[in-house]
């Protein structure tokens, strides 16, 4: 079977967030899926297979980190939609049935893909004990997110604080259900993005995820409320970065970005 590595939320290779993608006829047992994801050893490997015509979705989709299955993943969904479109298995909009519900992905005329995800609810919470020490930075606010995400959105003072973080990943591991998303407003919005973020997920085997699409279903309503605009662009990442364009539509958030296939090969296991 063919296996591909796709860089998501970027229009050039070796940037954005890489994901493994396997298109299958059906899902093998969970143990095999997890072994493949561990072998690929990226933040996410996506497995998809086509569904019978006439249903509410076209493909079944699952995502695995090197250590566990997750409920929602944006960049690996973008990567999967990119592969399905580029190999000619679909055109236009693809509907995925996943743990978090039905997700749409539409290929746009400019070469990008727009995904339709559920908007995360945000709940202000107190900073958990040890968060400030683990981050090594001043915290402005903390918000919890919806169940399928399970992150804490942590606002820092400015863009420089986000970019300069060197957190204690072991100390962050047990502070949220999934991970910690740190964010701040862009220092110079004229550079093409409105806010910055970084994502740390040691609890699911990922110290830092370069560009987390699912986190933007929480970042979009957070920053849209601050800026008073429905359409925003976020820049995420530390050493490796990518852009996510967001559009808030009530209980749905649209995420838009490019994707590039960088590796294609044969999986023999």
pTM of the predicted model, to two decimals?
A: 0.96
Q: Could you give the 3-state DSSP secondary structure of residue 108?
A: coil
Backbone phi and psi for residue 220, each to the nearest 5 degrees, phi listed first: -60, -55
Tokens representing residue 155 in the block: 């606002």
Mean pLDDT of 235-242: 94
| Residue 148 pLDDT grade (very low, low, confident, very high; cuts 50, 70, 90) | confident
What mean pLDDT comes out for the span 227-244?
96
Q: Are the C-beta atoms of residues 3 and 266 closer than 8 Å to each other? A: yes
Pairing outcome for strands 69-70 and 195-201: unpaired
The pLDDT value recorded for residue 189 is 82
Q: Check whether 147 has a pLDDT greater than 90.
A: no
Residue 46 is predicted with a pLDDT of: 98
262 band by pLDDT with thresholds 50, 70 and 90: very high
Residues 6+ apart with CB under 8 A from 119: 217, 220, 221, 248, 249, 250, 251, 252, 253
Give catalytic residue positions. 44
Average pLDDT over residues 175-204: 95
Cβ atoms within 10 Å, residue 169: 16
């Amino acid at each position: 079977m063919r296996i591909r590595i796709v860089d998501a939320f970027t229009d050039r290779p070796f940037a954005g967030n890489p994901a493994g993608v396997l298109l299958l006829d059906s899902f093998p047992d969970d143990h095999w899926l997890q072994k493949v994801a561990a072998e690929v050893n990226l933040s996410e490997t996506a497995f998809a297979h086509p569904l019978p015509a006439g249903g509410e979705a076209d493909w079944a989709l699952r995502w695995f980190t090197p250590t566990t299955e997750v409920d929602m993943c944006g960049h690996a969904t973008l990567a999967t939609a990119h592969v399905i479109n580029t190999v000619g298995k679909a055109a236009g909009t693809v509907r995925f049935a996943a743990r978090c519900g039905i997700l749409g992905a539409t290929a746009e005329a400019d070469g990008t893909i727009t995904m339709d995800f559920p908007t995360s609810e945000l709940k202000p919470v107190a900073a958990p004990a040890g968060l400030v020490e683990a981050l090594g930075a001043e915290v402005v606010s903390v918000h919890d997110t919806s169940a399928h995400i399970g992150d804490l959105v942590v606002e820092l003072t400015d863009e420089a604080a986000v970019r300069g973080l060197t957190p204690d990943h072991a100390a962050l591991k047990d502070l949220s259900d999934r991970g910690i998303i740190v964010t701040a407003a862009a220092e110079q919005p004229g550079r093409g993005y409105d806010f910055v973020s970084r994502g740390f997920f040691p609890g699911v085997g990922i110290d830092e995820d370069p560009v987390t699409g699912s986190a933007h279903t929480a970042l979009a309503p957070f920053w849209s409320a601050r800026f008073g605009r429905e359409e925003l662009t976020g820049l995420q990442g530390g050493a490796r970065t990518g852009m996510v364009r967001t559009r808030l539509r009530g209980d749905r958030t649209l995420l838009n970005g490019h994707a590039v296939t960088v590796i294609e090969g044969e999986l023999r296991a």
